[in-house]
Each structure stands twice: as structure tokens, then as C-alpha cells.
Amino acid sequence: MEAFVAAMIVAATPLLFAALGELVAERSGVLNLGVEGMMLVGAVCAFIVAKSTGSTAAGALAGAGAGLAMAALFALVALGFSANQAAAGLALTIFGGGLSGLLGRDYVGVPLPKPGPLFPASWAEAIPYGKAIFGHDAMVYLALASAVGIWWFLARARGGLKLRAAGDNAESGHALGLPVLRIRFLAVLFGGAMAGLGGAYLSLAYTPMWGEGMTAGRGWIALALVVFAGWRVGWVAAGAVLFAAVTQLQFYAQGWGWRAPSQFWAAAPYLATILALALLAGRRTAGSAPAALGRIFRPSS
């Protein structure tokens, strides 16, 4: 059971990074469908830097930077040139898939050591479930901390209020003197850095290796989590953990001898997450999509 909980937390981490980043971008009114592409480029750059410097931290930074650079490209097109956000985001995903494959060409089949746990091993042994709680590498705790930080920022900080204003009613925000485009630009860059970290977690810690397309759709799952969680940080985190839990459950349940077609297990994480979030989160937060989400804003004066 301890191994199950630990595996669940590990599997939730890349989703959490990517979904939290996308949530911030969407709350500012920008729909970026390029999460998968940003994750892939983040993963490959993180791997290359970690391999050549020997430092996981440097790799993670490079992953975040690469995701941010990809997001800047998207922001230039979607905000600078007012292009359609959905089309620009899809293009970013396709571009990211190709670019990461090209960059990672010489790194296929190259191993990387797994980063050690952040906390001393004695902590993990001191309490029940200690390994599931204290046994992870630093990036897992970074993901949790950023969930708390983003919740605080959006709910309590002045900057968060401005960001939400840009996403809910860009015209009014603009009339009040808010730099709507700058806010959105920064939110998109932050989203890219978080997606890059999500990718970096995959190639540095989850499975320390580079393989083309190794995100295997996690960027799309993160996007869906944001929607089903009603754009709320707590529910995004809960959704990521639930999705990861059911994903892990399929492997454990097969060993426990629970009989179900393997196709059912393949679909189960999606079904469970959609059901849980649509029923629970949907009921409590009626129509909480940012009102200006995906709409192009051009400052009139």
C-alpha cells in the first residue's frame, strides 16, 4: 500500500506541474493548447543539460527555461499578432514534438542517474507511510509548494486579482488601467515554464531517460484537468492525484486478481477523473470558466 501511495504521488507530479501552469494562463484569458509540445521540449532540454552538467537542478531549470521559450513563441503569435489561440496552440504542440525529437536525437538510449530523496532516509523510516511522504525527490515537493503558492496568489494577492480581471473582462481591466496584454504575456510564460518543469520531471526523475514522445499525452490530460476542475487550484490538484491513483490502481489491481478487461483499466483513469470532477467540482463552482478565455483582446486606446 505504501508503494501504491508513493507511485501515485510520483505519477501525479508531471500532471500537477503542467495543469497548474495551464490554469494560470487560462485564468488570464489565454487558452494554450501547446502544453504537450512545451512539455516535450522541456523534457529533452532538461535531459541534455542534466546529462552534460551532471546536475538535476540545472536540468530542471533548463526544462523550465525551454518551456518558457516555447510559450514566448506562442505568446508572440497569439498575443502579439492576435492569432487564433487554438490554432497557435495546436501548432506549438506539433512543433514541440518535432523539435524535441530533433534535439534529442543523440540522447536516445542514454541513461541518467535517478535523483535521490530530498529528506534524510531516517525521516522516511520514522513513521508509517514515511516513504510515501518523505521519500521523494525535490521536484515532487516543488510541485506541491507551487500548488499552494498559486492558490495563494490567485485567491489572495493583488497580482492574482489583476490576472483574473484580465481573464474575466479584459475591456474593463483595460479601462481601469491594467496592462492586460502584459499580464497575459507573463501568465503564458509562467504556464510554459511549469509545463517545461512537468516534462523535466519525466525525463529527470520519473523515468530518467529521453525517448521521443515520452510525455505520451500527459499534456492533454493536464488541459482536461483544468477544465474539469472548474479552473480551481485545489480541484486541479485533487484531479491530478485521482487520475494518478486510478492509473496506478490498474497495475496493482491486476496483481490482486481483480477481474476486468484491460481495456476497462485503460479507460478507468479518464472515466474516474471526469466523473469525480464533473460531479463534485462542477456542482460547487457553477460556470467558473474565465469569461474572456480564448478571446482575442486588442487594446483600443
Partner 1 sequence: MILRRSLLIGAAALAMASGAPAAFAQEEPLKVGFIYVGPVGDFGWSYQHDQGRLALEKEFGDRVQTTYVESVPEGPDAERVLRQLATSGHKLIFATSFGFGDATAKIAKAFPDVKFEHATGYIRDVNLATYSGRFEEGRYILGVIAGKTTTSNKIGYIGAFPIPEVLRGVNAFTLGLQSVNPEATVSVVWANTWYDPGKEADAANAVIAQGADVIAQHTDSPAPLQAAENAGNVKVFGQASDMIQFAPTAQLTAIVDDWAPYYIGRVQAVLDGTWESQDHWGGLAAGDVHMAPYTNMPDEVKALAEETQAKIASGELNIFSGPISDRDGTERVAAGEALDDAAQLEMNWFVKGVQGDLPK
Catalog residues that contact partner 1 under the rule CB under 8 A.
Answer: 3-4, 7, 11, 14, 101, 104-105, 108-111, 114, 202, 206-214, 216, 218, 247-248, 250-252, 254-257, 259-263, 265-266
Of 84 and 250, nearer to partner 1 (C-beta) is: 250
Q: Residue ranges of the alpha helices (H) in 104-137?
A: 121-126, 130-134
**CA 145-78-89 angle, 5° bins:** 65
**Percentage helix, strand, coil for the chain under 3-state DSSP, each rounded to 5:** 75, 0, 25
Residue in the structure block whose three cell numbers are 530518467: 208
Residue 47 vs 228, nearer CB to partner 1: 47
| Cα–Cα dist 18/236, whole Å | 10
Q: Which is nearer to partner 1, 107 or 119 (CB)?
A: 107
Amino acid at 74: F
Rounded to whole angstroms, the Cα distance separating 274 from 154 reads 24
Distances (CA, A) of 173 to 26, 153, 159, 178, 292: 16, 18, 13, 5, 11
The residue type at 236 = V
CA atoms within 13 A of residue 60's CA, in its CB half-sphere: 19
**Residue 58 beta carbon to partner 1: minimum distance, rounded to whole angstroms:** 21
Q: How far is the CB of 110 from partner 1 (least distance, A)?
A: 7
Nearer to partner 1, 269 or 290 (CB): 269
Minimum gap (Å) between residue 148 Cβ and partner 1: 25
Nearest CA to 198 among 8, 21, 72, 47?
A: 21
CB of 53 to partner 1, least distance (A): 19
Q: Which residues are within 8 A (CB) of 243 and not within 5 positions of it... i.e. 6 or more apart?
A: 12, 15, 221, 225, 269, 270, 272, 273
- The least CB distance from residue 291 to partner 1, in Å, is 35
- Compute the least distance from the CB of residue 274 to partner 1, in Å: 18
In whole angstroms, the minimum distance from the beta carbon of 211 to partner 1 comes to 6
Nearer to partner 1, 20 or 44 (CB): 44
Q: In terms of CB distance, is 9 or 30 closer to partner 1?
A: 9
CB of 7 or CB of 154, closer to partner 1: 7
